[in-house]
Chains A and B, each alone.
Chain A
Amino acid sequence: EVQLVESGGGLVQPGGSLRLSCAASGFTFSNYWMTWVRQAPGKGLEWVANINQRTSGSEKYYVASVKGRFTISRDNAKNTLSLEMNSLRDEDTAVYSCARWPVWPTAVEVWCQGTVVTGSS
């Protein structure tokens, strides 16, 4: 069964840091681009970051509001995707979801349930 299981969410003070992890199973992780998407309380979906298939994650892209503060990475040997979040702000409070993207033509077709990141100000 294809699965993405997240961990690492929680309460964090503004300016603090948090690392989210996403464990993949049931598919060849190294074949897929991976992405993080977030959803603030009562709001819509917002794309956060993409990373290409390579172990080195040579291609990484971010939404402007997190650039320089968040880092997406992957470990293909451990089938794990990560999101390092620094200098967290109140507006980063959201449910963060990892998902896989097989690239065109299809879109994001497997999502994890999501983990909550809450600012404690």
Chain B
Amino acid sequence: DIQMTQSPSTLSASVGDRVTITCRASQSISTWLAWYQQKPGQAPKLLIYATSSLDRGVPSRFSGSGSGTEFTLTISSLQPDDFASYYCQHYGDYSTWTFGQGTKVEVK
């Protein structure tokens, strides 16, 4: 099975910072890589699908990139509403999906 490893597990940042979260796959995967944001007590929210496509209504400060085994989520200028946990997900095969272990973005 493909394993997805996110880094860092926790990230301390300030409003206005550029933030980058990395997701590494245990083997080369397709472009079917998604990123979700989750706040405490809330359902996850889809931010990015197919590595770099922004979901409807997601601010343009979020972007995704990558290929092969390394993928990144970048927040160009961190806003107060962005302090949350972020998860990557490989969904390239409908018979098995894998999430990364998550990255918590906290106030520095």
Contacts and interface: CB of A to CB of B under 8 A. Distances in A.
Interface of A: 33, 35, 37, 44-47, 50, 52, 59, 61, 63-64, 97, 99, 101, 103-109, 111-114
Given A59-B94, A61-B94, A61-B95, A108 B34 contact: yes
A45 B85 CA distance: 11
B50 interface: yes
A107 B91 contact: yes
A18 to B, nearest CB: 20
17 contacts: A37-B44, A37-B99, A44-B100, A45-B38, A45-B44, A61-B96, A97-B43, A97-B44, A103-B94, A104-B32, A105-B49, A106-B46, A106-B50, A107-B36, A107-B50, A108-B34, A109-B49
B102 A45 contact: yes
B37 to A, nearest CB: 12
Given A50-B94, A104-B32, A105-B49, A111 B44 contact: yes
Interface of B: 1, 32, 34, 36, 38, 42-46, 49-50, 53, 55, 85, 87, 89, 91, 94-102
User: What is the interface of chain B mostly: helix, strand, loop, or mixed?
Assistant: strand
A107 B44 contact: no
A93 B58 CA distance: 32
B97 A111 contact: no
4 shortest interchain CB distances as A-B pairs: A107-B34, A111-B43, A47-B97, A44-B102
A45 to B, nearest CB: 4
Contact of B46 (A46, A47, A103, A109): A109
B74 to A, nearest CB: 18
Given A44-B99, A45-B99, A33 B94 contact: yes
B77 to A, nearest CB: 24
